[in-house]
Homo-oligomer: A and B are copies of this chain.
Amino acid sequence: MNKKDTILIIGAGLCGSLLALRLAQRGYKVEVYESRPDLRTVDISAGRSINLALSDRGLKALRLCGMEEKARKICIPMYGRLMHDTAGNTFSSNYSGRENEYINSISRGNLNAILLDEAEKHENVNIHFNKKCNYVDIENGIAHFEDYKTKEAFSIDAAVIFGGDGAGSSLRKSYMDERKFLFSYSQDFLNHGYKELEIPADKDGKHQISNAHLHIWPRGDFMLIALPNMDGSFTVTLFLSYDEGEFNFDNLTSEEKITEFFEKEFPDALALIPNIKEEFINNPTGPLGTVKCSPWSYQGKTLLIGDSSHAIVPFYGQGMNASFEDVFVFDEILSQDLGDWEAVFKAYQKARKHDTDAIAALAIDNYHEMRAHVANPLFKEKRKIEMDLEKTFPTEYSSKYSLVTFNEQIGYDEAMKRGRAQDKALLNMIADDTIYTHLEMTKEELKVILDKVIIETKTILEEDKIAGL
């Protein structure tokens, strides 16, 4: 772990640039190679996840690197979901009963840009764009690249190579292809894909619908969502099956059918998307996949970090937050002075893998929840009780959503286990009429529910433990 050795980071996306910044702050010599052009000089968004949800886990990592304030300046707080039904009625559901808990809509490009700017301020960091990694010779620590412009091939020899190169990671592919060790790997696609559309700003550059919410049009088998941008526009994303149901990506091929679909299902959104037909036809349909793998490292030579090691579906708004938290956890392990990279990489995976597996599962949970449950009466009643509990007993109750999103001091795995048990307790108590709820609950009534939930959650966790689950 000699600080004169060269550390190579493949990928200057969100995770790669934050990692570069942190390692530079620790005094390491860092070379970053990115396949795409510099997004600060070229627009490369191309209709794919233009904005993201930044929340407490991501902010924790940005804070570590001194970037929290700069990031907050480009954030738009979203305090809850605003659901739209087919008649155009809306109802809101806050993310938390506590006032200081909200998520933030942020532009992927702008956030990446401030991280690159900050990393480049360090003279021990060099960032190279338009250099695509084709494969990594993991045994010898050599990464093979191609220059996008000159088409020239070249290679970089490094003491340590980090793969921060996202869901399609070339380092991860090299693990698969080289077969130097037993590599557990999974890629799991949902039957749904996604497509991005746009609600432009009004003529005064203002948002046409509430910019304090994440908008959802839940329709059971499919849904539309919208997140606000700082320029007054919204990025709208349609999640839809490729080939199932009356309307799907495979059969929405004519302008008539696209219009018919939106008129029937999303009339209020349609009225706000002037270029619907062009955008629908021209914007790509992206797949929704979960990637897991193990081990993340090869000896002390290479490490996968961020999406390259755990790509998840976007339904919990945690993809970027999980990748940033990777950098935070990795930094904690570095502070333990374990002596060599192999020990650091192993300790890092041991500390982190169960949590990234958990957020992958949670994101799939929310895929079902957002499309269907949010409009389900049992679920709505549960959410109302949870908001009341969080408001009335802010230090004693946190919903699963709060545990995952706003409780960055516990890991995703613990948040999932506690959160799922709590949900199970609450849903069953509502279904059994074990608890009585009405619109204006008193503190005393809520205290009765709180005590029951706590006891029942504990019982569920204990029974699962005894059953070895």
Contact = CB atoms under 8 A, between A and B. Distances in A.
Interface of A: 182-189, 242, 287, 289, 292, 368, 373, 378, 420, 423-424, 427-428, 431, 463-464, 466-469
Nearest to A292: B186
Contacts of A469: 420, 424
A368 B467 CA distance: 12
13 contacts: A182-B189, A182-B242, A185-B187, A186-B187, A186-B188, A373-B468, A378-B466, A420-B467, A420-B469, A424-B463, A427-B467, A427-B468, A428-B466
* From A292, A431, A466, residue with most partner B Cβ within 10 Å: A466
Nearest to A372: B468
Contacts of A463: 424, 428
A22 to B, nearest CB: 30
Contact of A184 (B182, B187, B431): B187
B185 A431 contact: no
Given A183-B187, A428-B467, 15 more contacts: A182-B242, A184-B189, A184-B289, A185-B185, A185-B187, A186-B292, A420-B467, A420-B469, A424-B463, A424-B464, A424-B467, A427-B466, A427-B468, A428-B466, A431-B466
Given A182-B189, A184-B188, A467 B287 contact: no
Contacts of A420: 467, 469
B423 A467 contact: yes
A125 B373 CA distance: 53
A469 B183 CA distance: 29
Contacts of A428: 463, 466-467
A184 to B, nearest CB: 5
A187 B466 CA distance: 29
A283 to B, nearest CB: 18
- Which are the 8 A-B pairs with shortest beta-carbon distances? A186-B186, A424-B467, A182-B189, A184-B188, A431-B466, A184-B189, A428-B463, A427-B466
Nearest to A291: B186
A289 B468 CA distance: 22
Nearest to A430: B466
Contacts of A468: 368, 373, 427
Contacts of A242: 182
* From A292, A378, A464, A467, residue with most partner B Cβ within 10 Å: A467
Contacts of A466: 378, 424, 427-428, 431
Contacts of A188: 184, 186
Contacts of A424: 463-464, 466-467, 469
A246 to B, nearest CB: 18
Contacts of A373: 468
Nearest to A189: B182
A137 to B, nearest CB: 21
Nearest to A365: B468
A381 to B, nearest CB: 12
Contacts of A187: 183-186
A182 B467 contact: no
Given A373-B468, A467-B427, A185 B182 contact: no
A185 B182 CA distance: 16
A376 B93 CA distance: 47
Contacts of A292: 186
Contacts of A189: 182-184
* From A183, A292, A463, residue with most partner B Cβ within 10 Å: A463
Nearest to A464: B424
Contacts of A289: 182, 184
A428 B287 CA distance: 43
A286 to B, nearest CB: 11
Contact of A186 (B182, B185, B467): B185
Contacts of A378: 466
A424 B368 CA distance: 26
A428 B467 CA distance: 7
A420 B464 CA distance: 11
A424 B420 CA distance: 17
* From A188, A373, A468, A469, residue with most partner B Cβ within 10 Å: A468
